[in-house]
Structure 1
């Protein structure tokens, strides 16, 4: 929740209180409706980095649940008589374990799972344990005890939740039981005891909170999914950037392996496992439990347009040199077919091959896919020559689908300058630009899109974040400069149709890249200031751009503009004018708003001011202090036909909503 408070300490709400600050007259043309702002303008980019999927958004609590890691028992500790088998019921996950009588009355057979940096559970919540199991021929009943344990407990018992489970079939069958912990524990262990004297085979051992996002059984962690929905995103890009390419083509993200029964989705090596040796996690794999069906479903439930990104036949160019690592242009047919099949999976009738797969998973109605991205951060001639046949095939079969191309990994330079003309030549609909840049870059880019070709492809600012010089972590000042930069996106909404901050998630113990928008541990999560910047823009995006100037120039932090960045929009519902102002200077600034074009009977009757500010520019929210820096909201009644004056504090971002009558 946001805090509601008086803002007199940071924001003076009358003209007479701003005498000591320099006056900045800001003129808003209220009748000159500019570009329509796209519903997709502000959204979310998801990539499985920093344990964002398994161990994060995907609510599964068991690591290596199907024993398919290359080290088949990674994540598990076994005792007694446990053996690995490889003729299981699921073709793409053939391994399972066999629990046998240890042969001694005082010995025990079983296994423990460590989860992802431990298994986090909460007091009073319910957790669904499930397993596929069978008995050998001739056996009629065996029993297991399923426990959540504190292995470091100093009390009488390690187990703080336990239930018995009876296995009663010689055929593979799914069993489940509900565990109800009496304590909250961030790092518990799942323990499975064989409590009878026979033999049991176990496959796909799983533990989920019952209370997932929207109650889905193969669901998402509720607090993390809710945080995404609370941004009210217009677009949701998935499954990522570099993981689409893979360290090699064998480990690229293959969407077809991520759909269908979850028990038969094969393991995939995560490209980020091998990227950072200083933050190395050899157990970082993708279960594909969070797959394309789940991504589409999340998009729908958040009200966001889905934007899947597919491999174009190139593996990660950072990690691979030479043609052997890539698919020859003449051999792209299967990759192109993957793209066409994905459109059918998302939008096809239930009688089509892939539409039926979607329907069988529980969603007979189409997902209304409108966009598809081909390639991520590719560069050089290798990219457009592979992109072109995709475009031809998709345009022929699905002219209604908009195609997103890429300008490479950099915000400017040789590759950027080469790829933009190529994207125009190929007539892509949007070009995905990426920029992880320092403060100086964000301060200098207020006018970045002012001179872009209005008739060419539109811009998707697909990955961006301010990386502080010597401060490559989340802090208030970086978020403030992101807000300043975003006013330039908004002023140019006729060119910029999508924008998504990146990366989205990071586990505090499993991070590899920072800054990130949302941090979490096994039981808690925290929204950074960058999160609130994104949320404020999304909630206040409006319907049309309004011209806003100071001294007849756009307010974009330029010379003589006192570190101010600003944009204005008209929101047709509820008929309000919205002005966003970022003061990046270290002094307070007086703001004189002048409204041009109000009708004779129109008046400004009220102002809602939302302020994001911090006296400590290096501070941010933390798991232990999640509300350290929050948007503060104040409402004031006024009555004017011409203007209104106020003061904006140093290093502050404000959203002003002016009500008309």
Structure 2
């Protein structure tokens, strides 16, 4: 071989070696430890009216007339509907269950119009019908389209004309259109409504303006403008503020909501897919109603739309130990699915995986495809159970589910549970049982005082790396003040430091509707018109948008005995950025020494983001946000000192050349 040929071969080899090296993370800092790339995600539960009346964009409340006293003693099938008969009209409205639209949707309403008033001098609409004010009013915006639909059937001989209007509280019409009912079988009718004026507390009226008798069900009003313009979609501004967190995953449909208030109230995924009129509505464990309109298809679609991995949670075949509405420390409320029903239930879980990942030609993949998603959703994770009391009945059923799914789908990473607390009997039993089965990830939950988070941010340093990994699925520090957010930031720094054993984490709960909260604090508060991110939200966002895939030790010199000053450094191999996080929950500034010697080619100008203020500062809902991140440029060197302000979280993102 000639020297020239050798030179060409060497150049080719060098190019291949360098390409492979770059793809594998060339330039990684010294002593870096690989950590989870799915560390920061979100947990969605239908609590605090997070779904119906919240993220789910449906504007009509009790659209299918399925409300009942089992949810609230004062509720009934006509709750949130008002009988209207303008123009001295009269007739009857009553509830019916014979020959329903679908067996999962058994209740509907019959309207019998006996007389439509046409008195002299009256110029408004006349007729008999129903008015719905939605969830504390409907927000209507001028110029926007709202899609009305309903199912109806004619119960008299002649066709009936309906006037569909949006009105303000004074009865002024904001949008209107008409429909005609002409068939005796259940038929879906729809019509657009274009708002000519805006209002925050509008209502929807369905008014029969001709005599006759008809049935109606699933009366729906959706803004045309949903998140990503999805049909049966999500409220766009609320979905976007969640998307802005850039979560790596979304756990859904809830925590205690999943195993339910009694076996009959367990969340069954098959009841939440398919056409909305065929989905089974039921009472919500948190004390209201869930339509199932935001169901498994919509959850998976949302995950795909925001680039997050879906993490569905299925019941472990036992109900919530707090069933019956009281907190039973002994877990006496837990009920177990009969063993002779377990094989059918296990198949239901296996069918879920086929629905999510199977080809469109498979039985359940075809159901997904029929909903508009022929391609698989690429499910990777599946959680079994939530905060269960670790009883023999739970262990037996969990084992049956776990072993069946593992055998059929070894590609799915299964997640177990260790009860509702950070320690105690259920925690110890849960981990012992999970380790016996070699469950790859175990879900931990705890809500406690911010001082606990500051005192325990080294918690996972001592975890055994040879056993199951940790998913910190629910946590919060009982408050939305700056002090709470900084304490949580300090704890999240501990999660990063232990990102080899803590592979996932999510603050909880995610959403809380103002005036309808069953649980506080929440990450994001909202009403029908506005969104109020907490300071905690901004901390979560800074971590999730500035995550790394390597942890770099000894970049910030710290005293481990100092519980109020915590720091970490991670490396993002995709961008080549070093990311330093500093949390000071103390009342005095703290000086730290930063050594970037582990990195090559440090760029002198970094991006710095700071959250700081007084410990009791809070983003009040009736005032503009007072505390939010502030970003500027900051000069760095290979070694430099930095003074961390009291009660602050500081993030410094430093560019390095590959």
Band of TM-score, shorter chain: 0.7 to 0.9
Distance in 1 (CA, whole Å) between partners of 2:370 and 2:488 is 43
**Unaligned stretches of 5+ in structure 1?**
1-28, 274-283, 468-472
Instruction: From 351, 361, 373, give the equivalent of 2:361.
Output: 351
Is structure 2 residue 105 aligned with structure 1 residue 93?
Answer: yes
Q: Secondary structure at the match of 1:240?
A: coil
Contact 1:527 1:626 in 2 (8 A): no
Q: Please give the alpha-carbon distance, in whole angstroms, between the structure 2 residues aligned to 1:117 and 1:603.
A: 55
Gaps of 5+ in 2: 1-26, 69-75, 85-90, 119-125, 325-330
For the pair 1:649 / 2:650, whether they are aligned, the reply is no
TM-score for the superposition, normalised by structure 2: 0.88
- Preserved contact between residue 555 and residue 569 of structure 2 (Cα < 8 Å): no
* Aligned-pair CA distance for 1:180: 2.7
Deviates further, 290-299 or 118-127:
118-127
Residue 166 of structure 1 deviates from its aligned partner by 2.9
Equivalences, count: 603
Q: CA deviation at 1:293?
A: 0.8
Judged with a 3 Å threshold, the aligned counterparts in structure 2 of structure 1 residues 197 and 585 are, in CA distance, closer, same or farther, namely: same
Matched residue, 1:78: 83
Per the alignment, residue 410 of structure 1 pairs with 421
| 1:431-446 alignment, distance < 5 Å | 431-446=442-457
How far apart, in 2, do the equivalents of 1:531 and 1:322 lie? 36
SS in 1 for 2:460: coil
Q: Which residue of 2 aligns with 1:610?
A: 609
1:97-496 matched pairs, under 5 angstroms: 97-103=109-115, 105=117, 108-136=127-155, 138-139=157-158, 141-151=159-169, 153=170, 157-273=171-287, 284-319=288-323, 322=332, 325-329=335-339, 331-382=341-392, 383-467=394-478, 473-496=479-502
The C-alpha deviation readout for 1:341-375, integer Å capped at 9, x for no partner, is 11111011222211111111111111101111111
Find the residue that maps to 1:608 and give its secondary structure: strand
Deviation of 1:134 (Å): 2.7
Give 3-state SS (helix, strand or coil) of 1:537's partner: helix
Decide whether aligned partners of structure 1 residues 389 and 112 sit closer, same or farther in structure 2, where only a CA change above 3 A counts.
same
Match of 1:58 among 51, 56, 71: 56
Would the aligned equivalents of 2:609 and 2:632 in 1 still touch at CA under 8 Å? yes
> Displacement of 1:429 after TM fit?
1.1
Report the RMSD for the aligned CA atoms in angstroms: 2.0
**Per-residue deviation, 1:33:** 4.4
Shift of residue 629, structure 1, vs aligned partner:
1.2
Cα 1:167–1:270 change in 2 (3 A) is same
> Residues 555 and 594 of structure 2 are in contact (CA less than 8 Å); yes or no, is this contact kept in structure 1?
no
* 1:67 match: 65
**Bigger shift: residues 532-541 or 89-98:** 89-98
- CA-to-aligned-CA distance 1:298-333 (integer Å, 9 cap, x gap): 111111111111111111112365588322455422
Q: Distance in 1 between matches of 2:114 and 2:92?
A: 5
Deviations 1:269-291 (A, max 9, x none): 10111xxxxxxxxxx11100000
Greater mean alpha carbon deviation, residues 377-386 or residues 59-68: 377-386
Write the distance in 2 (CA, Å) between the matches of 1:58 and 1:299.
Answer: 14
| Kept in 2: contact 1:544–1:569 (CA 8 A) | yes
Q: Which has the higher contact order (CA 8 A, sep 6+)?
A: 1
Q: Deviations over 1:212-236 (max 9, x none)?
A: 0111120001111111111111111
SS in 2 for 1:449: helix
Q: What SS class does the counterpart of residue 346 from structure 2 fall into?
A: helix
For residues 443 and 603 of structure 1, do their structure 2 counterparts lie closer, same or farther at Cα, with a shift above 3 Å needed? closer
> Is contact 1:311–1:335 with CA below 8 Å preserved after alignment?
no
Any conservation in 1 of the 2:318–2:334 contact (CA below 8 Å)?
no
SS of the residue aligned with 2:495? Answer: helix
Which residue of structure 2 lines up, in the alignment, with residue 13 of structure 1?
none
Residue 579 of structure 2 is matched in structure 1 by 578
SS at match of 1:164: strand
Equivalent position of 2:4 in the other structure: none
Deviations 1:48-74 (A, max 9, x none): 000000000101011111112222111
Deviations 1:485-520 (A, max 9, x none): 000000001001000000000110111100001111
Contact 2:38–2:249 (CA under 8 A) maintained in structure 1: yes
* 3-state SS, counterpart of residue 463 of structure 2: coil
Shift, 1:623, TM fit: 4.0
Does the 8 A contact of 1:31 with 1:598 survive in 2? yes
